[in-house]
Amino acid sequence: MKIDEWIALIVEGSAELALLTLLLDNHLLKFERTDLLEHDLLRTRSASQFQKLHLNQAMDKQVHVYRILDSRKEKFKLSPAYQKRVSKVEELYTSPEIEVLYILNEGKYAHFKRSKLKPSEYVRHELTTMPKGSIKSRKYVTQYWQTQLDDLVKVIREYARVSTDPIDQTLAAILR
């Protein structure tokens, strides 16, 4: 697919960075690494820092910003001088998606919904067959999903179906 704008893929945490890196490097997103601003995922969360670090240079195309984050409270307001360089800012939420992806993949979503536990508590206490470790660390996320990428795509789509967020505000929105 030909992309006529740069894609700024801004990820909030280590888990999001690991998931998006796996999806990107395995050609499972609507765009490729060569379409990305600076050909990489970005960790710059504030609009002022993003402007200073990434929009303060001559560009041949506008930038479409995707912010992958778990907080709905963070604001991303570009100053008027930079707004013309950005075609759109879209926010894709992962709260509590990262943990729910594990739950869905382990076939425990119905049990989880009945449990009344937070997703992180459910994963820690109920998914005892999963390897121990920080489930949101980049290393853990990568090791868990790298051998089951088809399952990762499947559970991202399933999460979008069961989530209260509109599908265009989940990771499913950018899947190929």
Per residue in 37-57, pLDDT tens? 999 999 988 999 999 999 988
In terms of Cα–Cα distance, which of 74, 91, 89, 75 is closest to 165? 91
Report the percentage of the chain scoring pLDDT > 70.
99
Q: What is the pLDDT of residues 103-121, one digit of tens each?
A: 999 999 999 999 999 998 9
Across the range 123-138, mean pLDDT stands at 85
Across the range 13-26, mean pLDDT stands at 96
Residue 110 CB coordination number (10 Å): 9
Mean pLDDT of the chain: 92
* HEC readout, 28-91: CECCCHHHEHHHCCECCCCHHHHHHHHHCCCCCCCEEEEEEECCCCCCCCCCHHHHCCEEEEEE
Report the predicted TM-score, pTM, of the whole model to 2 decimal places: 0.91
Output DSSP code: residue 130. Answer: S
Q: What is the pLDDT of residue 132?
A: 76
Output DSSP code: residue 148. Answer: -
Q: What is the pLDDT of residue 111?
A: 97
Across the range 18-45, mean pLDDT stands at 95
Q: What is the pLDDT of residue 2?
A: 58
Is the confidence at residue 131, as pLDDT, over 80?
no
For residues 70 and 124, the answer to whether their CB atoms sit within 8 Å is no
Q: What is the pLDDT of residue 92?
A: 94
Is the confidence at residue 1, as pLDDT, over 70?
no
44: left (phi over 0), alpha (psi -120 to 50) or beta: beta
